[in-house]
Structure 1
Amino acid sequence: MADDGPTDWNDRERAPGTPPRVIVIGAGVAGLSTGCYAQMSGARTRIFEKHVLPGGCCTAWSRDGYLFDYCIEWLIGTAPGNDAHQVWRELGAFDGKTMTNFDLFNKVEDASGRSVTFYNDPDRLEAHLLEVSPADSAPVRAFTRDLRRFTGIDLYPFLTAPPLRTVRERAALLRTVLPAFRLFWRTAATPMHTFADTFQDPLLRQAFRNIFFQDPEGFPLLPYLFNMAAAHHGNAGFPQGGSLGLARSVEERYLGLGGTVTYRARAEKVLVEDGRAIGVELRNGRRYFAEHVVSACDGHTTVYKLLGGRYTGPRIERLYSDLIERPGTLFPAVVSAFVGIRGPFGEEEAHSTTHLLSAEDAAELPGALQNSLVVQVRSRYSDGFAPPGHSVVHCTYFSDFAYWKELRTRDRKEYRARKRQVAAFVRRFLERRTPGLAGRIELVDVASPATMHRYTGNHDGSILAWKAFSDADDVAARLVGKDRMRLPGLSGFSMAGQWVGMGGLIRAASTGRFATQYLCRELGLEFRAWESDGTAAEPWHPGKLGQLPQLDRWSAREGTGS
């Protein structure tokens, strides 16, 4: 949208008789969600985004006819009949789209070729695990018994901010939680590492740690059971169009509600007057005013750059000065290698496989944090990810952000050489698994954690921000529930997104809903939301993605991305 329209965004005071203005910083999923709900509730909104695309981390880029889908591996809320799905329907995220569901969550294979497949169906999973290791019947049956119980639980508390829940909503939540309280408590208190170590089979000990593709370390059993149960019901699928497709659909919904997005517009600071946020100043010096400002970008940047560190308190300081630097509190950054292949790939393979690497192989991956490589056949997730008759594979591993950041800052030539090393390893690894494949590889495009930091501003290049079940979890929950997503001493301002409400796209979207519910009370508006009329939507097609960027120009010559 154009920078200026027939509005009063450049005026300190809003035009008489017009609805209150809300400025949103960042057009990621949380920012777009905030804009949608604020528009539905009668506010006028404007989103400023530094990038040329919506979505933030929920993004994709292209090269030579391939689409490199960066974010979604599974999405909670893809099946009808639950609150998570309602949020996505309100945001228009699924309009005109089909969903892809797989019968397994992930496959894990060790260096010798032994493998275990984590089927979403508890009965099939139990039979398979007992076949892999009959001696481990006790822990196998314990896990699948709990998985069956989770398949009967419908708990997606994403519609109303905790302090604003009605008596009816609280009662409904209790009716779900109380009968399963001991199950929740026990699985939340049992670390996956502790449980996995009860297996006799060394493959199962490692495989259970990698159900979520790589070992997030520190997770208890509960999230594994919850997500696999959701997948069993088709509620953790993959939407047509993928990550950027999701962002584009929510953007379309927002624009249809009358909102405005300005791209290539980096916010430099939040304007504050007498302890109240009154607008933003962009890098180009232009100022825009509003009755409320919502920051839906990186939390550390918001607190210490946009606001200069002036509005903090014990909770904010603990999150953004203490915990953010503590090992194990943030989700690790990721190295991504997208491989474009002429012809088919992986027709006999699982859609997603974690390969447990030998020490020698792992040593060849620069900055690797674990001895594993995830290989996903992304062209099986959605149409349009590869040219007709071609395939695209996404290879990832957890990596050290500081390694890549220092390398890129100190020696750009060496930085590119290390990315070529990643590309060369991926080529050799895939050829070793499928002889003759190397001759059909058309390109390898590598993105490092430094790439993520450059394009999104996410602290340490972390895609998912705070790690659930870490020390940050309780602090962030109080920031949402007790502080109402506000900062001490500053009115007219809110924060939204994964740096407030934890990681995951449904959580990001729900923070936009919560932030709007809170600001409606401040601005005297009635919070309103309704589902998009998806039946009238044009069927999804790749053309809806719009103009897609490549990464740096030199990547086309060297084949290693940004």
Structure 2
Amino acid sequence: MAAADRGPDWSGRERPAGGPPRVIVIGAGLAGLATGCYAQMSGLETRIFEKHVLPGGCCTAWSRHGYLFDYCIDWLIGTAEGTGAHQVWSELGALDGKSVTRFDTFNRVVDEHGRAVTFYGDPDRLEAHLLALAPGDAKPIRAFCRDLRRYAAMELPWELTPPPLRTAAERLRTLRAVLPAFRLFWRTATTPMSGFAERFQDPLLRRAFPNMFLQEPEGFPLLPYLYTLAAAHNGNAGFPQGGSLGLARSVEERYTSLGGVIGYRCRVERVLIEDGRAIGVELKDGTRHFADHVVAACDGPTVLERLLEGRYSSPATEKLYGELLDKPGNLYPAVVSAFVGIDGPLPEGEPHSTTYLLTPEDGERLPGSLQRSLVVQLRSSYADGFAPPGKSVLHCTYFSDYRSWKDLRTGDRRAYRARKQEVASFVREFLERTYPGLGGRIELVDVASPVTTERFTGNTYGSILAWQAFSEAEDAANRLVNKDRMRLPGLSGFSMAGQWTALGGLIRAATSGRFAAQYLCRELGRPFRAWPSDNREPWHAGKWGRLPQLDRATVGAPDVGAPDVGVPEAGVAEVGVAE
């Protein structure tokens, strides 16, 4: 029975006299859950409809043969107390009862010849390491580390209120934080990392710096690299206990404790509109649920094309979805993930994350690879519960194109599965070469393609973070949030939230839910309220809940991935790498 069957009946058009306004939220990703939490705290009555059996969207995990494959978080911004981003997670209960793993090493990059550069968060340690590695590049090394020290020393505010609703005091606080470093922000925001990297004479540093973020995000300037490395140094970019699904489950728990109701296996087919106003939703089973307001916190193209039947748009959405969606560099790339289950321990003394730069021959062997590199993360070395006792798990990833995977799965399922096997075979061989003896201990390799991501989350083109920051899409997305107030002209009672509205990243998605609730409260003439969760129960594995299983296929040392199955209509969904 779907969870939507619980709670009050919303099948009638009229709500009880004197009752609070009702809000339907489409999607139980981080943005949808956050919208629900803040709306409940502000005295509204909400329910969330989610087509899947789990919360979190891309912030998820799945299980196979006792292994937990954590899909999303590499680092989480907002893990340091006293920061604005941490306030959001505190209000959402996301870190309740959890420890946070913090990394001295942000990432390591190793070239084809075995030369390595380690990106430490500590500016002094990083500078000494880089100078020892490439003394001829002292000038750009010292310039980068000097800027890193300045970022690490600043207390940058995380905006908790959308610009149109900020008070004079909030605006003044932002100015006081930004103005002293305005020239630094401007210079690092307008200096492309690719251009800065060309200043290095050392060939490894030229290639390594853009891969500081595991792989190179196209078009990124220096600013996000410096900001994130400084955040890691200050303990504000760590890995939370419970990982991705643990984060989603904690926010889900916060939402239901506030009185919210989630309906899983409840696919919304369309938004009900009457006289230019959204009045509710119709589900796949034909049932209708009515509310005073509908918030779509899900895939942007799906919202505009299917849920709203192409009837509404704005200059911002026309720019985003009509002009920029298919233009390279505006969407965050899709990813191929290969989870590797290993009998025994991981190699000792290795950093938690390494980007390996591949030879042209190896790069050609990775199906759909956009960059000649492979990221290897030693997941079970810093996260408890991800592997059975005595075993370990690795997560290998690379940016990949979407179209070749989609065309192959649509036209030739057998060839599609064979291509996934190519990924698994390469990963197996590469790990054996890199860590001799490890290949013989591999028990399984589980591959998720960009098509997997699209089918699991609904994200167009399998993009894991939707619109990319510092791209042409950023101005249009900012207009959608700040000028249009996350709404569409000609349609009242409806708003949007999430990474397709406010750019990608978990803290951005969660904050967009806060913004959506603030705009809604202003529209309804109700005070916006938010306070920290007081749940002090320590995190434990039972909070993951009943995990989706992928045991239908026999998986052993030579096997790969999951069978080509979709999400069934009843029982526990077979998800994650379900094709």
Pairwise TM-score range, normalised by the shorter structure: over 0.9
Looking at structure 2, the residues matched to 203 and 49 of structure 1 have their Cα atoms a distance apart, in angstroms, of 46
Q: Which amino acid aligns with 1:433?
A: T
Q: Which amino acid aligns with 2:198?
A: D
Per the alignment, residue 357 of structure 1 pairs with 358
CA contact under 8 A between 2:297 and 2:496: conserved in structure 1?
A: yes
Q: Which amino acid aligns with 2:298?
A: C
Deviation digits for residues 197-226 of structure 1 (CA, Å, limit 9, x no counterpart): 000000000000100000112000000000
CA contact under 8 A between 1:369 and 1:399: conserved in structure 2?
A: yes
CA contact under 8 A between 1:8 and 1:15: conserved in structure 2?
A: no
Looking at structure 1, the residues matched to 112 and 502 of structure 2 have their Cα atoms a distance apart, in angstroms, of 38
CA contact under 8 A between 1:158 and 1:507: conserved in structure 2?
A: no
Looking at structure 1, the residues matched to 444 and 157 of structure 2 have their Cα atoms a distance apart, in angstroms, of 41
Per the alignment, residue 248 of structure 2 pairs with 247
Per the alignment, residue 311 of structure 1 pairs with 312
Aligned residues: 560
Per the alignment, residue 230 of structure 1 pairs with 231
> Do residues 157 (structure 1) and 158 (structure 2) align?
yes
> Do residues 174 (structure 1) and 141 (structure 2) align?
no
CA contact under 8 A between 1:378 and 1:392: conserved in structure 2?
A: yes
Per the alignment, residue 284 of structure 2 pairs with 283
Looking at structure 2, the residues matched to 559 and 425 of structure 1 have their Cα atoms a distance apart, in angstroms, of 12
CA contact under 8 A between 1:87 and 1:509: conserved in structure 2?
A: yes
SS in 2 for 1:3: helix
The 3 A distance-change label for structure 1 pair 156 and 551 is: farther
Per the alignment, residue 528 of structure 2 pairs with 527
Looking at structure 2, the residues matched to 225 and 138 of structure 1 have their Cα atoms a distance apart, in angstroms, of 17
Alignment of 1:316-465 (within 5 A): 316-465=317-466
Q: Which amino acid aligns with 2:251?
A: V
Looking at structure 2, the residues matched to 380 and 465 of structure 1 have their Cα atoms a distance apart, in angstroms, of 29
SS in 2 for 1:55: coil
CA contact under 8 A between 1:87 and 1:158: conserved in structure 2?
A: no
The 3 A distance-change label for structure 1 pair 60 and 555 is: farther
Q: TM-score, normalised by structure 2?
A: 0.95
The 3 A distance-change label for structure 1 pair 207 and 6 is: closer
**Worse overlay, 155-164 or 264-273:** 155-164
> Do residues 547 (structure 1) and 550 (structure 2) align?
no
SS in 2 for 1:452: helix
SS in 1 for 2:161: coil
Deviation digits for residues 162-202 of structure 1 (CA, Å, limit 9, x no counterpart): 11111111000000100000000000000000000000000
Q: Which amino acid aligns with 2:235?
A: G
Looking at structure 1, the residues matched to 109 and 419 of structure 2 have their Cα atoms a distance apart, in angstroms, of 27
C-alpha displacement at 1:6, in angstroms? Answer: 5.2
Looking at structure 1, the residues matched to 148 and 397 of structure 2 have their Cα atoms a distance apart, in angstroms, of 27
Looking at structure 1, the residues matched to 5 and 417 of structure 2 have their Cα atoms a distance apart, in angstroms, of 40
CA contact under 8 A between 2:75 and 2:239: conserved in structure 1?
A: yes
Looking at structure 2, the residues matched to 93 and 349 of structure 1 have their Cα atoms a distance apart, in angstroms, of 29
C-alpha displacement at 1:489, in angstroms? Answer: 0.7
Per the alignment, residue 559 of structure 1 pairs with 560
C-alpha displacement at 1:314, in angstroms? Answer: 1.8
Unaligned 5+ residue runs, structure 1?
Answer: none
Looking at structure 1, the residues matched to 178 and 508 of structure 2 have their Cα atoms a distance apart, in angstroms, of 19
**Worse overlay, 135-144 or 303-312:** 303-312
C-alpha displacement at 1:5, in angstroms? Answer: 4.0
Unaligned 5+ residue runs, structure 2?
Answer: 563-576
Q: Which amino acid aligns with 1:473?
A: E
C-alpha displacement at 1:157, in angstroms? Answer: 2.6
Deviation digits for residues 242-288 of structure 1 (CA, Å, limit 9, x no counterpart): 00000000000000000000000111000011111000001111100
CA RMSD in angstroms comes to 1.1
SS in 2 for 1:151: helix
Q: Which amino acid aligns with 1:549?
A: P
SS in 2 for 1:269: strand
C-alpha displacement at 1:3, in angstroms? Answer: 2.5
Deviation digits for residues 413-435 of structure 1 (CA, Å, limit 9, x no counterpart): 11000101100100100000111
C-alpha displacement at 1:4, in angstroms? Answer: 2.9
Q: TM-score, normalised by structure 1?
A: 0.98
Deviation digits for residues 49-107 of structure 1 (CA, Å, limit 9, x no counterpart): 00100000000001111100000000000010111000000000011100000101100
Looking at structure 2, the residues matched to 281 and 6 of structure 1 have their Cα atoms a distance apart, in angstroms, of 18
Looking at structure 2, the residues matched to 318 and 551 of structure 1 have their Cα atoms a distance apart, in angstroms, of 40
Looking at structure 2, the residues matched to 158 and 187 of structure 1 have their Cα atoms a distance apart, in angstroms, of 20
C-alpha displacement at 1:521, in angstroms? Answer: 1.4
Looking at structure 2, the residues matched to 152 and 242 of structure 1 have their Cα atoms a distance apart, in angstroms, of 28
CA contact under 8 A between 1:61 and 1:549: conserved in structure 2?
A: yes
Looking at structure 1, the residues matched to 22 and 146 of structure 2 have their Cα atoms a distance apart, in angstroms, of 52
Q: Which amino acid aligns with 1:14?
A: R
Per the alignment, residue 48 of structure 1 pairs with 49
Looking at structure 1, the residues matched to 77 and 491 of structure 2 have their Cα atoms a distance apart, in angstroms, of 34
Looking at structure 2, the residues matched to 291 and 154 of structure 1 have their Cα atoms a distance apart, in angstroms, of 40
Looking at structure 1, the residues matched to 314 and 163 of structure 2 have their Cα atoms a distance apart, in angstroms, of 21
> Do residues 260 (structure 1) and 261 (structure 2) align?
yes
Looking at structure 2, the residues matched to 499 and 187 of structure 1 have their Cα atoms a distance apart, in angstroms, of 26
Deviation digits for residues 117-166 of structure 1 (CA, Å, limit 9, x no counterpart): 00000000000000110000000000000000001222243311111111
CA contact under 8 A between 1:8 and 1:14: conserved in structure 2?
A: no
The 3 A distance-change label for structure 1 pair 469 and 280 is: same
Kindly, what percent of the aligned residue pairs are identical?
Answer: 70
Looking at structure 1, the residues matched to 526 and 506 of structure 2 have their Cα atoms a distance apart, in angstroms, of 26
C-alpha displacement at 1:524, in angstroms? Answer: 2.4
CA contact under 8 A between 2:34 and 2:513: conserved in structure 1?
A: yes
SS in 1 for 2:149: helix
Per the alignment, residue 204 of structure 1 pairs with 205
Looking at structure 1, the residues matched to 554 and 333 of structure 2 have their Cα atoms a distance apart, in angstroms, of 25
